[in-house]
């Protein structure tokens, strides 16, 4: 399939018939739909404007950044609709019906909330377009209207991380009757959320009382793609020049968990922009996290999620490599994971002891070298066992980075010696 050609959305849906199975697994692991949505979209890079996630579709390795983002946006919108669907989806026919309704909603959503993307529901000859055709055309326009797609991490981060707000607002909007009053509310919310991101960026950039060149460039990237009014852009520049306190940000009060995760992770990446993470900046992140109602553990999890994402896709994030040292990021990530596995040591021991297959491999490893296939099996089983820890139910683990030697490194000291006791 080719996302640049007409009919790409229909082909995509044909190839993604397994989406119900995937989502059911995520829902089982996390009962809260926002936690499930985070688990689905965070590893793709869409929250950070980086379409680097794995896409298991034909010829996807030949797609450019723009095509990849188009597929990830379509999949994330459909995932949002399915995850927030208020009834169980029991069979493929019901899934098809829900997806058809989701596509209709996608068209209505963008036509209503983003009038600049308005697309006629009929062809030039008066034929009514199907929900599939309308959704495809609007998604094409949404991607074309976005900012740049380049190899520069920071350019894409602030040009395209706003796609996440599309998904968040859509997840709320699909449950409403979109009359004039409701539509006006969501338009207002969309503008306010975009402006809140500007405030978070400005606040994070001023965290060490010194706005770096790189951080100032971030605001320029963001304003180019935010569709803010000239007045709002002028206000945003003033906020960035003068600074703003956390208390002045006035983040939305709907208490959405995933929206707060987005804000804290935007702040973390802004601070990463100048490479150094100073003590004053960590103090800022702690204060912002507390202001959002997050605990110190929640902040640690977001730091770990970003570090895991970067390590998993290091070879694709070439411009980020100039700002972060791989070994430093790796050491921080391994240290955070080690603390969590130590805390849940007894749970992990119990999970291992209940896996006869893994116990057999461990016994064999004590007396002889395992084959490559056996090592791969052990890696997969250890990853599954780690997912029994609540933190890793919500957060996706970087599977390519977590090789078997790395997994053995992050498990508690004397872990395997205690298994046989």
For the chain, give the percent of residues with pLDDT over 90.
Answer: 17
Instruction: State yes or no: pLDDT of 39 exceeds 70.
Output: yes
Q: Helices 163-173 and 92-113 meet at what angle, rounded to 10?
A: 110
Q: What is the band of 302 on the pLDDT scale with cuts at 50, 70, 90?
A: very high
- Are the C-beta atoms of 318 and 286 separated by less than 8 Å? no
Q: For residue 386, name the pLDDT band (cuts at 50, 70, 90).
A: very high
C-alpha angle 395-398-399 in degrees, rounded to nearest 5: 120
231 vs 218: CA distance, rounded Å: 19
The predicted structure's pLDDT at residue 104 = 84
Is the model's pLDDT at 2 over the cut of 60? yes
Contact 44, 38 (CB under 8 A): no
Compute the residue count for the chain: 421
pLDDT > 70 in the chain, percent? 83
Cα–Cα dist 383/397, whole Å: 8
Q: Which tens digit of pLDDT belongs to each residue from 99-117?
A: 888 888 888 888 888 888 8
Q: What is the pLDDT of residue 304?
A: 93
- From residue 185, give the alpha-carbon distance in Å to each of 85, 112, 188, 190: 22, 11, 5, 9
Which residue, chain included where needed, has tokens 């912002």? Answer: 288
Predicted local distance difference test score (pLDDT) of residue 91: 73
Band of the pLDDT at 18, cuts 50, 70, 90?
low
In which element (H, E) is residue 204 found? helix 180-205
Whether the pLDDT of residue 221 is over 70: the answer is: no
- The answer to whether the beta carbons of residues 73 and 8 sit under 8 Å apart is no
Supply the DSSP symbol for 85.
-
Would you place residue 28 in the very low, low, confident or very high pLDDT band (cuts 50, 70, 90)?
Answer: very low
Q: Up-side HSE of residue 193: CA atoms within 13 Å toward CB?
A: 23
Residue-level pLDDT at 81: 82
pLDDT score for 182: 63
Rounded average pLDDT over 259-280:
82
CA 76, CA 421: separation in Å to the nearest integer?
A: 46
Of 319 and 125, more confident: 125
Average pLDDT of the chain, as a whole number:
81
- Give yes or no for residue 339 having a pLDDT over 90: yes
Cβ distance 38 to 83 under 8 Å?
no
Cβ atoms of 353 and 316 closer than 8 Å: no
* Predicted pLDDT of residue 105: 87
pLDDT at 127: 81
Is 379's pLDDT higher than 60?
yes
Q: Give the range among 81-95, 382-396, 400-414 with minimum mean pLDDT.
A: 81-95
Q: How far apart are the first and last CA of the chain?
A: 54
């Amino acid at each position: 399939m080719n996302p640049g050609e007409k009919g790409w959305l229909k082909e995509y849906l044909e190839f993604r018939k397994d989406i119900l199975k995937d989502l059911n697994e995520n829902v089982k692991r996390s009962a809260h739909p926002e936690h499930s949505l985070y688990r689905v979209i965070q590893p793709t890079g869409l929250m950070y404007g980086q379409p680097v996630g794995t896409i298991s579709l034909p010829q996807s390795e030949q797609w450019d950044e723009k095509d990849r983002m188009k597929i990830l946006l379509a999949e994330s919108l459909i995932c949002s609709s399915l995850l927030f669907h208020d009834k169980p989806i029991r069979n493929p026919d019901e899934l098809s019906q829900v997806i058809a309704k989701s596509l209709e909603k996608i068209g209505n959503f963008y036509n209503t909330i983003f009038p600049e993307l308005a697309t006629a529901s009929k062809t030039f000859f008066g034929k009514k377009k199907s929900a599939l055709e309308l959704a495809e055309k609007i998604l094409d326009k949404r991607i074309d209207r976005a900012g740049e797609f380049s190899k520069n991490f920071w350019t894409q981060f602030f040009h395209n991380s706003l796609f996440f707000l599309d998904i968040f607002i859509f997840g709320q909007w699909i449950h409403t009757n979109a009359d004039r009053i409701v539509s006006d509310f969501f338009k207002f919310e969309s503008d306010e959320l975009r402006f809140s991101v500007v405030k978070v960026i400005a606040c994070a950039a001023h965290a060490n009382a010194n706005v770096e060149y790189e951080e100032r460039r971030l605001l320029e990237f963001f304003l180019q793609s935010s569709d803010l009014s000239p007045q709002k852009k002028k206000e945003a520049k003033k906020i960035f020049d003068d600074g703003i306190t956390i208390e002045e940000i006035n983040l939305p009060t709907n208490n959405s968990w995933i929206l707060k995760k987005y804000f804290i992770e935007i702040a973390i990446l802004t601070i990463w922009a100048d490479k150094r993470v100073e003590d004053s900046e960590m103090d800022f992140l702690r204060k912002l996290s507390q202001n959002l109602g997050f605990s110190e553990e929640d902040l640690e999890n977001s730091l770990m999620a970003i570090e895991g994402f970067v390590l998993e896709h290091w070879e694709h994030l070439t411009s980020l490599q100039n700002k972060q040292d791989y070994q430093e990021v790796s050491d921080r990530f391994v240290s955070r994971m080690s603390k969590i596995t130590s805390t849940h040591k007894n749970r992990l021991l119990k999970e291992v002891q209940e896996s006869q297959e893994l116990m057999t491999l461990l016994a064999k490893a004590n007396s002889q070298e395992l084959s490559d296939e056996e090592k791969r099996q052990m890696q997969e089983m250890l990853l599954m066992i780690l997912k029994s820890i609540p933190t890793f139910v919500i957060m996706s683990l970087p599977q390519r980075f977590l090789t078997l030697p790395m997994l053995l490194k992050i498990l508690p000291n004397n872990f395997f010696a205690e298994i046989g006791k």
